[in-house]
Every structure is written in C-alpha cells, then in structure tokens.
Amino acid sequence: MTLRYALSPAVTGTAAPCIPQAKAWGATYAAGQQAAGPLLDLSQGVPGEPPHATVLDALSKVAGSHGAAKYGAILGEPDMRAALATQLRHQYQLNDGHLQAQDVGITTGCNMAFLILLMCLCPPNESSILLPLPSYFNHAMSLSLQSITPAYLPCDPAHNFFPSLEAARAILTTPSTKKPRAIVLVTPNNPTGSTYTPDVLAEWLALARQHNIPLVLDETYRDFASTGAPHELFKDPQWRESLITLGSFSKGYRIPGHRLGSITAHPDFLQQVATVADCMQICPPRAPQLALAPLLPSLTEDMVRYAAALRKRLTDFGAAVACVPGWRVLSSGGFYAYVEFPEAYTSEKGRKALAAALGKEMTRVGSGDVGQALATRCGVLTLPGCFFMPELDDPIWASVRGGDAMHEDRWIRFAVANVSDDTIAGLADRLRALNTVMGM
C-alpha cells in the first residue's frame, strides 16, 4: 500500500520496536515440534505476578465511578503526589524537608516521563544526552524521535557494567555542536541489572553539577534495589538544582497496563513539565491514582516480599547458568541478568554450526544470532544484547570512547520476573542443548 502523505524522518529513522521481533522467534518455535519442551519466555521485563489483591479490588471499584472518568490535575492527583512523596521519604530514609509532594509529578508511565523530560531539556538537532551503553532501547528511540544525539558512555563488562566516568568527563570537556544537556543513568539497570552504589551515584551527581547539567536517574527498578536506601542524593539540600529522578508503578506495584510513572525534580522544573504534559497526557490515568493513593503505605510489605522473591530467583538463575559450560552471568539485579554466551560460539566452527542451525549465511556470530537460535531451536525467548546497542556498522561507534569491549556483542538479557522458579530450574538443560547445537 502506498501512503499519499510524507512521514517525519525522525520517525522513519528510528529503530522499530524490538520486542515483536523477539516474539516472532518464539512464535516460530511454538509453531514447530517444540522439541526442547514448552516455550520459556524470558524476553520482556514485566511482572508475572498479579497486583496485590487490595489494588485489584480498589481499581475495580474506582474505575466504575464517574469521578475517575473526568479529567484530573496535569501533574497528578494531589493525594497521589503526597502519597508518593511519603513513600519516597520512607524508601530513601528522608525527612519532610528533603522531599515533599510539590517535588513529585505523576506521569502516564516512566517512558512518557522520559519523553517529556527530553522535550523540556533539549532543543532538537543541537543537543546530546549522555546515555549508558548498553542502553534501554526506548531511551535510544526517544532520543532519535526528538533528533537528539546520544553521547554513549560504554559500561565495563569486567566491572559489573558500570558506566565510564572517564568517558563522561571526556565528552563534557570536548567542544561539540551538540551541546550535552543531561547525563542519564538507569539504576538498577535495564538491560544489565547492574545497580550503582550510593558512592558511585554521588560522583555522577558531582560531575553533572560541575557542568551545569542535570543528572537524570531512571529508577524504574528502585523497589528491587536491595535493602536500605537506593542512594543518598536526596539528602543533599541542593539536590533540586541538579537531580531529576524518574519512577514507575509498573514493576514494584505490578500495574504496567495502568500506565503510571513519576518525575521527582525541582518544583520550578515541574512547571515546565506541566506545559508538555498538558499536551501529551492532559492528566495521568485517574483510576489507578485514585485506587493506589490511599493504599501505598500498606503495600510496602508486599513489595519487600516481591523484591526478595526476585532476588532469590536471580540467585537461582545464576546457579543454573553456572552449571553450563561457557555461559557466565556478568551482572544481575532488578528484573534482569546479563549473560555472556560461550566464546567457542564465535570460533569458525561455531559460526558454521550456527549458520547451519539458522539456515542463513553468517560472517560473524553476534548476540542476535545466538538469541535467535536459543529461541527457535531451544525454546528460550530472551533479548539479545544487540537490541540495546547501535548496529555494529553504525558510524556512531567511532565517537564511543572505549567502545571496543561493547563491540564484542557477546551478551544476552534474561528477564526473570515473568517466569516461575521452576522455569529457572529448567533453563540449564536448554542452554546445554544450545551448546550441543553449536558443536560444543
């Protein structure tokens, strides 16, 4: 079909959503003999467990009310903002002065918060954003849609995939036509699961402050960070001048379909957020806000339990992978483990075996091919590391200081939140089966 109208190059030049591509591999396996057993889907970072019963109950009551059907406040229900501020004070061990309701705004999910933020901070075509590599694909896509250049910070596979401060310093001190407008970090990270320590985050905030740009922390997975406060940055009385954090209700509260997220920032900045949010969302969904606001304090215990269950699952996952020759978990946390596949796969013998298994020509073995084989031959759906990086022949690599290690493309992301503990126990056999396919 021909479209009789033109499209924006910013949209046509942006990578298509990658989850459907992985799901298609799963569908190929499911439609076949399923020789390795039923399809195990570890591709998407989505909670498998339903929301707490009190949340479902409140949602069903509130959603049927006339009040929830009306427009609400642009930055969220006052009660919801107050409840989230209280929750954050509890989680980060803060007092009232550190963080208040006026410091938080509610958005239609964290992805929307990120897009709003870019629109507030970055004039298109002349801005760059420091972004860790590997990066959450929707961040890279949002930058592309806004004609913002990513200034990638390679994360070190040998050091828990922490982003390079050195690369950041070099970017920030090198003159560029694309002015850096913010440093974005994700902790606990998607895709690597790596969780940055309070000390490391303090260094990043100091760097951002030194260059008069904000440090933006995407803390979608903060409820899974481990015990204790995820960081100490809000305790700095000047945090509002240089820190912006983003949150999500999708993971900790397990309501991704209800689309609630948050921005925590200086109230003056939130006024600018309101201008963009008014056009994009008018108001965040009201029913989940009205349902959740009175319940937040009572849900902490359930969240702690859920976080502990996921930590245990990640530990079990690590033990399962450790039994399989050549496979190694390099980092894990939150919903994810980032796993290196065997080096033998990249040998000439491995390349030939994989090409034969996939029935296609291959000049090298990359994570995309391994992910495809894992899904279509062994029934395990994951997201390959290449989904979280530019194409290996993209000219942008020339600007990535220290990007050689990333170029190896040896990693696969496993999401553990959407599967049972039994599924994790069965994984080792599937990885062994892939080793057999690869002639190991």
Ligand X SMILES: Cc1ncc(COP(=O)(O)O)c(C=O)c1O
> Per-residue string for binding with ligand X, 247-286, x by CB under 6 A?
-x-x-----x----x-------------------------
d(CA 324, CA 412): 15
Q: Which residues contact 427 (CB under 8 A, 6 or more apart)?
A: 40, 317, 320, 321, 380
Using CB under 6 A as the binding rule, whether residue 110 contacts ligand X is answered as yes
d(CA 73, CA 374): 47
d(CA 279, CA 283): 9
Helix, strand, or coil (residue 414): strand
Indicate the helix (H) or strand (E) that contains 40: strand 40-41
* Nearer to ligand X (CB atom), residue 110 or residue 273: 110
* Nearer to ligand X (CB atom), residue 122 or residue 357: 122
d(CA 171, CA 231): 25
Using CB under 6 A as the binding rule, whether residue 201 contacts ligand X is answered as no
Using CB under 6 A as the binding rule, whether residue 140 contacts ligand X is answered as no
Using CB under 6 A as the binding rule, whether residue 131 contacts ligand X is answered as no
Instruction: With beta carbons less than 8 A apart as the criterion, state whether 74 and 232 touch.
Output: no
At residue 244, φ and ψ (nearest 5 deg) are -130, 130
Nearest CA-CA partner of 123 in 204, 177, 171, 184: 177
> Per-residue string for binding with ligand X, 16-55, x by CB under 6 A?
-----------------------------x----------
**Which of the ranges 105-113, 174-182, 282-290, 347-355 carries the binding residues for ligand X, by CB under 6 A?**
105-113
Here the tokens at position 346 are: 């990249």
> Per-residue string for binding with ligand X, 167-186, x by CB under 6 A?
-------------------x
* Nearer to ligand X (CB atom), residue 217 or residue 330: 217
d(CA 162, CA 158): 9
Using CB under 6 A as the binding rule, whether residue 59 contacts ligand X is answered as no
**Which of the ranges 24-32, 60-68, 104-112, 224-232 carries the binding residues for ligand X, by CB under 6 A?**
104-112
Give min distance, CB of 236 to ligand X, in A.
23
Q: Which residues bind ligand X (CB under 6 A)?
A: 45, 109-111, 136, 186, 190, 218, 220, 248, 250, 256, 261
